[in-house]
């Protein structure tokens, strides 16, 4: 396994792989890796002869009042975890490398970014789309693997790739959970022990919603009301949003008569947690 | 020479070239080719084993009141001209191919697009940057050639390529002119015979400015005043802008103590003409 820090070196590596006719698989991360990331990497191994992962806490996707400075980092541990799962290259750029002085180009999406985290975190998806566009140009992957925990992010990336004719496949993988159902996230490290039960209100709320759907409920307002009350009943938990959206447009739906996703964002103590579940699909909780 | 209309076919062609270790040179155009375009193509031949040109009148770079509908088109003539100059592939996509339903992704630049044509034509450079990002992903060139007549466009493209880590070289070529000095443009076809002399006020204004610079004048206001009066003195000519800008930031300069460009946009009858000249560089007028 090698670590590459420079843009040109990353591109020359990618060119050499492609010149040999080898496929490049890519898993972009912000580091502080957990089993969810490792699952993405295992999947990546299946889609390429060479697996590249990036570790980069991207400043442009954090708002001015968000947790950029305290976002958890542990490169040494990440290195060992990557080695264990068979990563070939860690791309580990600096901020100066990614956003040099006079940087001024951004990729913006108009529709799918308007709801959910796009409302709560203005500019977040602009930062996500921009850094992914850059990373795709640097790593030149044939396939990139993203987790479905960030459901809207996956929709944004797929839309960008299609719209800008980026020639790679985007693969979405099911959320990996702790034994108690909590979706894996680097931000779970912010949770205090007494907040853990409240953090479980997300996955349990999703399970409740799936149960109502299985019973035939198709009125979004009825499900939203039940899940909102359930989550709000937990100490330390403050709802950012509880929504049911069309999985393609990310617009709110009133009735569950098309493929729809329940998407949750809840602040539990210092952690802003997100989780989601597509109605009718199995939820591993 | 082959004509490719479909995105995937263009990408597979590019992949096959690259797989063979061949270099791809690219000249994007909106068609209605003139000698300026052909000069770009000749230069392209030097930078690649395979020369691709695109012919596409990109709707997203036209404002709602601009000349999209009447922009001149003549594919049969363009085909022959491309053949004559040794183009290998004409990429000729449809609007449905480039901007299908639900299209929503745009590339935006914050600094270099704010002045000049960015002021006169809101959204113009967003359309230019977006279509070039798409075309670069479709054609996968090692080098792309642009004319300096669209000076700000060249600055925008270079900035986007650097910022988004697009792995290609951008080459800028001097403006090709008619014998009387008029910069070649597909839009010159809009000029009526009686407007031709007024159209020459742009290149002559630039020559006047270079003369003042050669005499030691460094006060931008003095040069701007002289050139503006000169152009405004011509019938049929309405100034859109007469500016002197820093060639890197595209910001107005008060004194010519750094590399600066005089940039002109003038409406002459139905034609909006642009021209420019970097101070101290030869002007072939």
Residue A13: pLDDT band (50, 70, 90) is: very high
On the question of pLDDT at B284 being above 90, the answer is no
Coil, helix or strand at residue B263: strand
Task: Say if CB B138 and CB B13 are below 8 A apart.
Answer: no
Task: Say if CB B118 and CB B151 are below 8 A apart.
Answer: no
**Cα–Cα distance between B216 and B113 in angstroms, integer?**
30
Asked if the structure places residue B244 within a domain, the reply is: yes
Domain stop point among B107, B139, B173: B173
Catalytic: B37? yes
B7 lies in the same domain as B142: yes
Q: What is the mean pLDDT of chain B?
A: 97
A136-158: string of b/e by CB count within 10 Å (b at 16+)?
bbbbbbbbbbbbbbbbbbbbbbb
Say how many residues make up chain B: 285
> By percentage, how much of chain B surpasses pLDDT 70?
100
B144 lies in the same domain as B36: yes
**Cα–Cα distance between B43 and B37 in angstroms, integer?**
10
pLDDT digits (tens, 9 = 90+) for A60-109: 999 999 999 999 999 999 999 999 999 999 999 999 999 999 999 999 99
B152 lies in the same domain as B199: no
Nearest by CB to A165, which of B109, B110, B137?
A: B137
The mean per-residue pLDDT over the stretch A163-180 comes to 97
**Cα–Cα distance between A104 and B112 in angstroms, integer?**
8
Site from A10, A100, A105 to mutate, B interface, most B CB atoms within 10 angstroms: A105
Asked if the structure places residue A181 within a domain, the reply is: no
pLDDT digits (tens, 9 = 90+) for A98-142: 999 999 999 999 999 999 999 999 999 999 999 999 999 999 999
**Helix axes A7-19 and A124-139, enclosed angle (nearest 10):** 50
Task: Please tell me the total count of domains within chain A.
Answer: 2
Query: pLDDT value at position B70?
Result: 94
**Cα–Cα distance between A111 and A243 in angstroms, integer?**
16
**Cα–Cα distance between A122 and A114 in angstroms, integer?**
9
A116 φ/ψ sector (left φ>0, alpha ψ -120 to 50, else beta): left
Asked if the structure places residue A9 within a domain, the reply is: yes
Task: Select from A142, A140, A263, A155 the least CA-distant residue to A209.
Answer: A263
The mean per-residue pLDDT over the stretch B172-193 comes to 96
A155 lies in the same domain as A229: no
Kindly state the tokens that stand for A218.
């198709």
Asked if the structure places residue B179 within a domain, the reply is: no
The mean per-residue pLDDT over the stretch A11-33 comes to 97
- B131: Cβ contacts below 8 Å, ≥ 6 apart: B28, B56, B58, B60, B61, B98
> By percentage, how much of chain A surpasses pLDDT 70?
100
pLDDT digits (tens, 9 = 90+) for A144-162: 999 999 999 999 999 999 9
Report the CATH number at residue A237: 3.30.1300.10
B169 lies in the same domain as B190: no
A35 lies in the same domain as A122: yes
Q: Do B108 and A110 touch (CB under 8 A)?
A: no
> In Å, what is the CA distance from B2 to each residue of B29, B80, B84?
16, 12, 13
Q: Do B108 and A112 touch (CB under 8 A)?
A: no
* Alpha-helical regions (H) of B6-101: 7-19, 35-47, 75-85, 95-98
**Cα–Cα distance between B15 and B40 in angstroms, integer?**
23
Site from B7, B21, B101, B105 to mutate, A interface, most A CB atoms within 10 angstroms: B105
On the question of pLDDT at B133 being above 90, the answer is yes
Query: pLDDT value at position B98?
Result: 98
Tell me which chain A residues have a C-beta less than 8 angstroms from the C-beta of B104: 109-112, 159, 163
A102 φ/ψ sector (left φ>0, alpha ψ -120 to 50, else beta): left
A222 lies in the same domain as A164: no
**Residues of A contacting chain B (CB within 8 angstroms):** 7, 11, 15, 18-19, 21, 102-112, 129-130, 133-134, 137-138, 140, 159-160, 163-167, 249
Domain stop point among B173, B202, B221: B173
pLDDT digits (tens, 9 = 90+) for B79-111: 999 999 999 999 999 999 999 999 999 999 999
The single residue of A34, A37, A102, A124 carrying the catalytic annotation is A37
On the question of pLDDT at A284 being above 90, the answer is no
The mean per-residue pLDDT over the stretch A234-241 comes to 97
Q: What is the ipTM of this complex?
A: 0.95
pLDDT digits (tens, 9 = 90+) for A246-273: 999 999 999 999 999 999 999 999 999 9
Coil, helix or strand at residue A72: coil
B195 lies in the same domain as B217: yes
Domain stop point among B173, B203, B233: B173
Asked if the structure places residue B265 within a domain, the reply is: yes
Domain that holds residue A241: 186-277
Tell me which chain A residues have a C-beta less than 8 angstroms from the C-beta of B19: 18-19, 21
Rg (CA), chain B: 19
Task: Say if CB A77 and CB A58 are below 8 A apart.
Answer: no
Asked if the structure places residue A178 within a domain, the reply is: no
Sheet containing strand B237-246, strands side by side: B237-246, B260-268, B271-278
3-state SS of chain A: helix, strand, coil percent to 5?
40, 25, 35
How many other CB atoms are found less than 10 A from the CB of residue B281? 11
Report the CATH number at residue A101: 3.40.50.620
Asked if the structure places residue B284 within a domain, the reply is: no
**Cα–Cα distance between B243 and B226 in angstroms, integer?**
12
B89 lies in the same domain as B118: yes
B132 lies in the same domain as B203: no
On the question of pLDDT at B72 being above 90, the answer is yes
Sheet containing strand B24-29, strands side by side: B2-4, B89-91, B50-55, B24-29, B143-147, B169-173
A159 lies in the same domain as A202: no
B244 lies in the same domain as B110: no
Asked if the structure places residue B226 within a domain, the reply is: yes
Tell me which chain B residues have a C-beta less than 8 angstroms from the C-beta of A166: 137
């Amino acid at each position: 396994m090698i670590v590459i820090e420079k843009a040109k070196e990353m591109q020359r590596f990618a060119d050499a792989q492609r010149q040999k006719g080898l496929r490049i698989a890519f898993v972009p991360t912000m580091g502080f890796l957990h089993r969810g990331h490792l699952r993405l990497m295992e999947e990546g191994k299946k889609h390429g002869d060479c697996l590249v992962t990036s570790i980069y806490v991207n400043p442009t996707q954090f708002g001015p009042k968000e947790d950029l400075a305290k976002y958890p980092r542990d490169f040494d541990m990440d290195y060992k975890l990557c080695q264990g799962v068979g990563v070939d290259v860690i791309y580990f750029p600096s901020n100066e490398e990614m956003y040099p002085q006079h940087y001024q180009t951004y990729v913006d999406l108009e529709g799918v970014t308007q709801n959910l985290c796009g409302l709560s975190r203005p500019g977040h998806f602009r930062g996500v789309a921009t850094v992914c566009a850059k990373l795709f140009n640097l790593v030149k992957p044939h396939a990139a693997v993203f987790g479905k925990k960030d459901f809207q992010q996956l929709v944004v990336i797929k839309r960008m790739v299609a719209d800008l004719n980026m020639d790679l496949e985007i693969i979405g993988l099911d959320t990996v959970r702790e034994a108690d159902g909590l979706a894996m996230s680097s931000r779970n490290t912010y949770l205090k022990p007494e907040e853990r039960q409240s953090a479980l209100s997300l996955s349990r709320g999703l399970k409740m919603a799936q149960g109502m759907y299985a019973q035939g409920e198709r009125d979004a307002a009825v499900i939203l009301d039940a899940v909102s009350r359930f989550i709000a009943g937990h100490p330390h938990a403050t709802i950012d949003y509880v929504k049911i959206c069309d999985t393609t447009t990310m617009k709110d739906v009133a009735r569950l008569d098309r493929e729809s996703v329940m998407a949750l964002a809840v602040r539990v103590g210092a952690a802003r947690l997100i989780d989601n579940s597509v109605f009718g699909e199995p939820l591993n909780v």
